[in-house]
Amino acid sequence: MNGINRRWVLASRPVGEPVAENFRLDSQPVPEPQAGQVLLQTLYLSIDPYMRGRMSDAKSYAPPVALGEVMVGGAVSRVIASQHPDYAVGELVMAYTGWQEYALSDGNGLFRLGDLVQPSLALGVLGMPGFTAYMGLLDIGQPQAGETVVVAAASGAVGAVVGQIAKLQGCRVIGIAGGAEKCRYVVDELGFDACIDHKAPDLATRLAEACPQGIDVYFENVGGKVFDAVLPLLNTKARVPVCGLIAHYNATSLPDGPDRLPLLAATLLKQRIRMQGFIIFDDYGHRFPEFLQQMGPWVAAGKIRFREHRISGFESAPQALIGVLRGENFGKCIVHLAD
């Protein structure tokens, strides 16, 4: 096959919020699959908050993207040439092939989508975000019927699923989202019991009013002022799965004092709270089949609803990530390259 493979590579590391100049669009020849390889064409590229972390070289759970290398990310792709005995041309797959229009694979890390009715779901409710929501809530949060569950970033790819699963468990579910429109969606479409707009004044007061019995599970996606409002409401024996801290990803320094690290430790002690970070595929990869077996029917039956924030055109990927980090997306952010 001849042609051009456009790729977004990391041009420089961001200081604070990423800017367009941190990314560079380059062009390479589309590679030729060798024996045992397939050539993939990217159809949908997933845009997720964790990508901000990979742009920095601070110590983290995964190595950073090297300067000049293709940005990381999951994608839904079509096999357009195959020298691999297990994959036929035309098949749809999901893989972490990064921000590029074409990629080679030897089959490692390829996930066959089969007859999935909407392939982009493999990047959302039936993919990493949905799996993150499922395991973080059920395995770490362990919600019991009647308990109060609070979900930050409630209209987002992970939060929306967390809240809906918590409702299926019989919990009272309070979302926190940015803006009246997202809050309406979270209550009216997703069925949360209430949703607090973190852009409105008095977040802490309004969250306390929405949680008269305190908080038993807080699914942490955000940090910042949202966590500050949650902390005094946490009940004895509360569980806090820590999935993300988007409010801090662009921070270049710690906030001003006083130093509340001892306050958090003392709250964990006095309230006997379990707070636990997790990285979904590292901690739970072996349970992905179990997740699909449960989530597939829930989605098919309309018990778990979802919303995609689609952006057209590969050239939009950097702006899409910048927008996600600002909370400008409304639903799971996906860049659509081809059908």
Q: Which whole-number Å values give the CA distances from 283 to 47, 131, 280, 286, 307, in the listed order?
A: 21, 11, 5, 8, 26
Q: Of the ranges 56-64, 90-98, 161-169, 311-319, which one interacts with a second copy (CB under 8 A)?
A: 56-64
Q: What is the DSSP string of 258-319?
A: S--HHHHHHHHHHTT-EEEE--HHHHHGGGHHHHHHHHHHHHHTTSS---EEEEESGGGHHH
Kindly state the number of chain residues that form the binding site for a second copy, as judged by CB under 8 A: 43
Q: Of the ranges 11-19, 54-62, 178-186, 316-324, which one interacts with a second copy (CB under 8 A)?
A: 54-62
By CB under 8 A, residue 278 contacts a second copy: yes
SS3 category, 189: coil
Strand 75-82 to 38-46 pairing: antiparallel
Smaller CB separation from a second copy, 77 or 221? 221
By CB under 8 A, residue 223 contacts a second copy: yes
Longest dimension (CA), the chain: 65
By CB under 8 A, residue 106 contacts a second copy: no
Considering only residues 233 to 272 of the shown chain, the ones binding a second copy according to CB under 8 A are 236, 242-245, 248, 251, 253-272
Q: Interhelix angle for 288-300 vs 128-135, to 10°? A: 100
| 174 contacts 149 by C-beta, under 8 angstroms | yes
By CB under 8 A, residue 212 contacts a second copy: no
By CB under 8 A, residue 274 contacts a second copy: yes
Q: Which of 8, 23, 44, 227 binds a second copy (CB under 8 A)?
A: 227
Q: How far is the CB of 237 from a second copy (least distance, A)?
A: 8
Smaller CB separation from a second copy, 44 or 50? 50
Question: Rule CB under 8 A: which residues touch a second copy?
Answer: 59-61, 220, 223-224, 227, 236, 242-245, 248, 251, 253-279, 282-283
